[in-house]
Amino acid sequence: MLKYEVEIYENHRGSLLINVPEEISLVADLLLADIQEDGTHLWLSLVNKVLSRESCYEEITGNACTMEVEYEMTKIVFEYAEAEYDDHCLIETEELKKIFMLWDEAIEKKYGESN
């Protein structure tokens, strides 16, 4: 069960989109700008590395966002935020993992197999 209300859907052009609550809005930016429909493989592997305590901290930067993973919380930083907007959000690492898994399920459903 997810803590946050998350909706993954296809728009009229067939692209996957995601709606998340405002407090974790950068999760959508991370998925749509950096991960896209390639799947979360690399990103999820870093989350799993920290959750399994194989590592205490992992960081990865994509095209638009940096993900800083710690056991309890993950910080997502939007690298191009304008001054009047929040440049980061925090999400429980376990919740982020669940959202990544939902995203991968949506990709698998859309394409019929793991991408």
What integer is the mean pLDDT of 84-97?
Answer: 92
H runs (alpha helix) in 1-115: 25-29, 41-51, 93-111
Residue 61 or 115, more confident: 61
pLDDT-based confidence at residue 113 (cuts at 50, 70, 90): low
Tens digits of per-residue pLDDT, 49-72?
A: 999 999 999 999 999 999 999 999
Using the predicted structure, report yes or no on whether residue 36 has a pLDDT greater than 70. yes
Alpha carbons 24 and 98: distance in angstroms, whole number: 14
Given a contact cutoff of 8 angstroms between Cβ atoms, the answer to whether 102 and 16 are in contact is no
Count Cα neighbours of 107 within 13 Å in the Cβ-side half-sphere: 17
What integer is the mean pLDDT of 86-114?
Answer: 92
Structure tokens at 99: 């959202």
Give the predicted TM-score (pTM) of the model.
Answer: 0.92
Given a contact cutoff of 8 angstroms between Cβ atoms, the answer to whether 86 and 106 are in contact is no
